[in-house]
Amino acid sequence: MTHFRTVKPLPVLQEMLQPRKSGMFEDLAFWLGYITNGKHLTWYASFQFTIYAALLGGALAVVFGLTGATLKNSRFFVLRLVGSTYSSIVRGVPDVLFFLFFPLAFEQGVEWLVSTQVCSPEAIAAQTAPWPPCREANWFLGTTEYLLLASVSLGLVYGAFATNVIHGAMRAVPAGQLEAARAYGMSTTQVLWRVHIRQMWVYALPGLSNVWMLIVKATSLLSLLQIADIVLWADRLGAPNFLPTVGLVHDDWRWRYYLVLFVFYILVTWLSERAFEYLMRRTGRGILSEVRT
Amino acid sequence: MKKTMLAAAAVLALATPAFAQDTVRIATEGAYAPWNFLNDAGEPAGFEIDLGNAICETAELSCEWIINDWDSIIPNLLAGNYDLIMAGMSITDERLETINFSDNYFPPDPSKFVAAAGAGLDFSALSGARVGVQGGTIQAGYAEENLGGANTIVTFSTADQAMADLAAGNLDTILADGAYLEPVVNASNGALEFVGEDVMIGGGVGAGVRKEDTELKATVDEALATLKADGTVDALIAQWFDGMGPFFSE
């Protein structure tokens, strides 16, 4: 049924969409003014959400990863089961899906919990919407709440990957190192923290840098949670405008704004690589030379 | 047990401030000029923003604007994320099943077809055409029902995206609110023209409100009556819609 037929383009309309040409300096001043108007400044400010989400999500992923790896290494079967279930199931769930699922489930869980405390039977009877049980139990999530939930989602999803990375790295630490530590009379906890986890980083960092890059990429999903992030603003700014009262009349410019996002993400990648190189050098100090890069 | 109680208390403490309903939150799409849009400063502006602020001033309410995508704007009203919708939403029987509306603040507005000048569409037996509409609008429902069989209905998340696709030559025609299309067609220097016959759908544009919020609806209606009588609504319509009207004052 769907067929593509190209209707003749509209030259006059296309022309109308072109910005007026004038002298080079007027042009420059115009564009400078355009890219620094309030709308664009809001867009630039929204980069902070992406950065916060990546940093907090990354930190949480390491925390969840360490927890998961510890569980997987546990002596107790039940804890091992929890650890391996977490890493195998959560790794398999698409991040977009988890990103949508977790905050919604958490919000409704909290609303249910609150509703058991604050909802009177009359309020429940008066409620017309299917959810929440009563109006008083509605939890309005602002940008901050969504940003926190987004970071936790990122931490949970990529923590499952980090679990495997760290689990593998823990096993890569030569047994002789641990034996030597025990022979020095260190307690189990001391061996774990001073030798095992300290040396583990060298083996874990290459894998963790992968996980970090995945987290950085996943921050482009923030707008799914109604956070006015860089992607949403790129959409808004690039959307075509036909009315001079609204602002500059222009065609669909979204690709130009997406291009800026490309550059931003490439820049973050480059910075991350430098940072991980530095970390590798630091954590590798005094450790087997063959694992250094 | 104690820990659970503490956790519950913490959750309650965390959540409580959000439950206070001191201000009226008004949702708008922010992508439907001149009804509502984001101006160069990145703030909501347009006919409905001016009108909403006038309503709030008259009714002595403190109001806050929230930008919400069109397709989730009714569900989020029902969930309680905001209290009013002012987003160029027409009053229809279908919508009245789930939400209520204030009195209209814009009269029933004919929906119009727009196409490239001289495209020569045969509207008496339109077939094989690509018709653009914004999803979830009265026009989308109308187009599916009346034109869907013989034509391809293409839905867009915003009206401006549909316009862009028409300008790019990917659509034969667009069906949308006349008041939205009028300024665009006027600004196109004859490249676009109205075609076919206007369709009357919807009972004017009003503010969406939850059914149980009868008090808020009464407050808004009262303020609207005042603003219609003193000519404010007509003045705003004339200001934002190229001198249309007057509709409400005698």
Domains of chain A: 40-234+251-291 (1.10.3720.10)
Region B8-30: mean pLDDT is: 62
**Could you give phi then psi for residue B112, rounded to 5 degrees?**
-130, 155
Residue A246 touches chain B, beta carbons under 8 Å: yes
Instruction: Check whether B8 has a pLDDT greater than 80.
Output: no
Q: In sequence order, which ranges of A18-138 are alpha helices (DSSP H)?
A: 24-35, 38-45, 47-72, 77-92, 95-118, 121-126
pLDDT, averaged across chain A: 87
Q: Are residues B100 and B214 in the same domain?
A: yes
**Predicted local distance difference test score (pLDDT) of residue B12:** 44
Residues of chain A with pLDDT under 70: 1-22, 288-293
Closest residue by Cα to residue A138 from B37, B240, B241, B80: B80
Residue A104 touches chain B, beta carbons under 8 Å: no
Is residue B207 within 8 A of residue B194, CB to CB? The reply is no
Region B136-146: mean pLDDT is: 92
Given B182, B199, B216, the domain boundary residue is B199
Q: Are residues B173 and B208 in the same domain?
A: no
Domain-embedded: residue B246: no
**Predicted local distance difference test score (pLDDT) of residue B2:** 46
pLDDT in tens, A82-120: 999 999 999 998 889 998 899 989 999 999 999 888 888
Alpha-carbon distance A31 to nearest alpha carbon in chain B (angstroms): 13
Closest residue by Cα to residue B193 from B170, B173, B164: B173
In chain B, the number of structural domains is 2
Q: Are residues B103 and B208 in the same domain?
A: yes
Domain-embedded: residue B142: yes
Domain-embedded: residue B229: yes
Q: Are residues B56 and B118 in the same domain?
A: no
pLDDT, averaged across chain B: 87
Residue A251: closest CA among chain B residues belongs to which residue?
A: B164
Strands (E), chain B: 24-28, 31-32, 36-38, 44-45, 63-67, 84-85, 100-101, 111-116, 130-134, 152-156, 173-177, 192-199, 208-209
So what's the ipTM on this one?
0.76
Q: Are residues B69 and B181 in the same domain?
A: no
Domain-embedded: residue B79: yes
pLDDT in tens, B73-120: 998 898 888 999 999 999 999 999 999 999 999 999 899 999 998 887
Q: Are residues B101 and B128 in the same domain?
A: no
**Predicted local distance difference test score (pLDDT) of residue B186:** 87
Residue A10 touches chain B, beta carbons under 8 Å: yes
Closest to B191 (Cβ–Cβ): which among A6, A12, A135? Answer: A12
Instruction: Check whether B18 has a pLDDT greater than 70.
Output: no
Bridge pairing between strands B31-32 and B36-38: antiparallel
- A and B: number of Cβ contacts within 8 A: 147
Task: Flag whether the pTM goes above 0.95.
Answer: no
For B134, the domain range is 111-199
**Predicted local distance difference test score (pLDDT) of residue B139:** 94
Q: Are residues B89 and B63 in the same domain?
A: yes
pLDDT in tens, B163-192: 988 988 899 999 999 999 998 898 888 889
Q: Are residues B209 and B102 in the same domain?
A: yes
Residue at A223: amino acid letter: S
Q: Are residues B134 and B190 in the same domain?
A: yes
Domain CATH code at residue B235: 3.40.190.10
Who has greater pLDDT, B218 or A73?
B218
Q: Are residues B87 and B50 in the same domain?
A: yes
